[in-house]
Structure 1
Amino acid sequence: MTSPVPIRQPCPPAACNCGHGQLLADPGADLRILQLTRFEERKLLERLESLQSFEDLQRLCGRMHELLGIRVRIRPSHNEVRSARGLLIEFDEQPGLCRKTREAIPAAIRRALVQRPEILFRLLDAEDLLRDA
């Protein structure tokens, strides 16, 4: 007999708008995001902060979508991009994704891009921003 998959504890009432309770109440809902426990979230953030290459970033974003249903889009903002802060890191609307997690994932990605600027340059190059440089 296998044990059930641990799920994330609900956020305190009025502290988050993740919709944890509604997600559990919906029988047809995608519950993969609830597998991101606080411990697993810490491991994910550590992994994001230790990115080694642009391909690693793409692979990790793909795995987040595959395993948790989190779709992350990273693109340059409409203003000039001078640092990792000039990037827009957005999520598709997803019930069950905690507000704090929505803030922590982009922060971890930005820290990794600051540590390894070559990943940032490859990201900008993939968006064809450095074609004239």
Structure 2
Amino acid sequence: MQTRNDLAERVASAVQGKVQEAGSATQSKYTRKVWAAMDCIKANQPGFDRQLTMQLTVKRQTTFVDGANQNVVVASGTSPDGLFQDREVQPEIIIQSGAIADDAVSDALVKFMDRTVVARLRH
């Protein structure tokens, strides 16, 4: 397992824009912030109990399909507090014959967050 703070920062930045759009659409008076793990509110700080924490995961593998090797990425996530769990969310999946770049992985994580977390903020 490898922690990728660089991907976390890219995803947080992209999701922050979507969260702001969702807040504007619902005319919410609350400003929500999206941070990568190292910038999140710590357990001993005010606001920790109101924070939604998501643990994003990327699983990579190679499989053999139709006589050729295919690279597969499964981008998903859960929340430690149980609000979003594996069995309740659909991951983003990328399948291609060539190597899967970090940009595509980042985009898949942003799509996952948009479909799960940001979509709930819009309602």
Shorter-chain TM-score tier: under 0.3
The structure richer in helix per residue is: 1
Question: What TM-score do you get using the length of structure 1 for normalisation?
Answer: 0.26
Q: 1 or 2, which has the higher strand percentage?
A: 2
